[in-house]
Amino acid sequence: MSRLSTSLVTPFCLVLLLGGTQRSYAQIGIAVGLNYDNVSDLDAGDFSASYDAASGYHVGLFYDLSLGTIGLRLGAFYRDLGDIESTSDIDVAEEVENFDLTMIDFPVDIRLNLTATPLIHPYVLFGPVFSVPSSGVDFIDNNLESLLVTGNVGIGLAVNIGGISLFPEFRYAIGITRLLKDRIEIGGVEVETEVQRVNSTMLRLGVIL
């Protein structure tokens, strides 16, 4: 079984365990949002590159399981990070100067519900996000790691209006694993790269009908 499959199966086992000991309430929703992403500097010995912050969007589905004061949310999202552009004053290798980046994200959120009113339920959330990256630039796409892991923290509100639940959220994702492989070939020369990560700030609105 792959590392991603194992990581996603584990929360489902947790859902079954907790669901058997507490009254649970599960729903499926959709969510859209904006993301602001920072790709850290690429350092490969004699070669280096810095990048502008990029902005994009994300959209997806989530499965929300409420267990009283604790909730579990599993999701699948398409995230477009936009164009990643170099800010280096020195000449940058064409292969890594500018590129696009997209990800398929699988967030696993643990949600802690706070003191609530009848209509508004604030909460905090945290958990890992497993991402499968890709790029339209062949060189970048061929040298991306197959699976990225980030740590996700955030705050949100559950707002119930007329049978519709809205979930406005602010999230911050901290890169844990590297974006590019540890060894890449630039200009016909194989170089070893330092760890390059992606950190993201997200504004998201989820809806359950």
Q: Give the model confidence (pLDDT) of 116-172 as tens digits.
A: 777 899 999 999 999 999 999 888 898 899 999 999 999 999 998 888 999 999 999
The domain spanning residue 66 has which CATH number?
2.40.160.20
Please state the domain count of the chain: 1
The residue assigned the tokens 């996000």 is 129
Q: What are phi and psi of 14, to 5 degrees?
A: -65, -40
The CB density around residue 37, as the number of other CB atoms within 10 Å, is: 23
Q: Residue 139's domain spans which residues?
A: 3-208
Please give the structure tokens belonging to residue 78: 């398409």
Cα–Cα distance for residue pair 39/25, rounded to 1 Å? 38
Residue 33 bridge partners (DSSP): 58, 204
DSSP 22: S
Q: What is the pLDDT of residue 5?
A: 52
- Tell me the average pLDDT across 23-40: 89
Q: What is the pLDDT of residue 152?
A: 96
Half-sphere CA count of 139, side-chain side, radius 13 A: 13
The residue assigned the tokens 């989530």 is 62
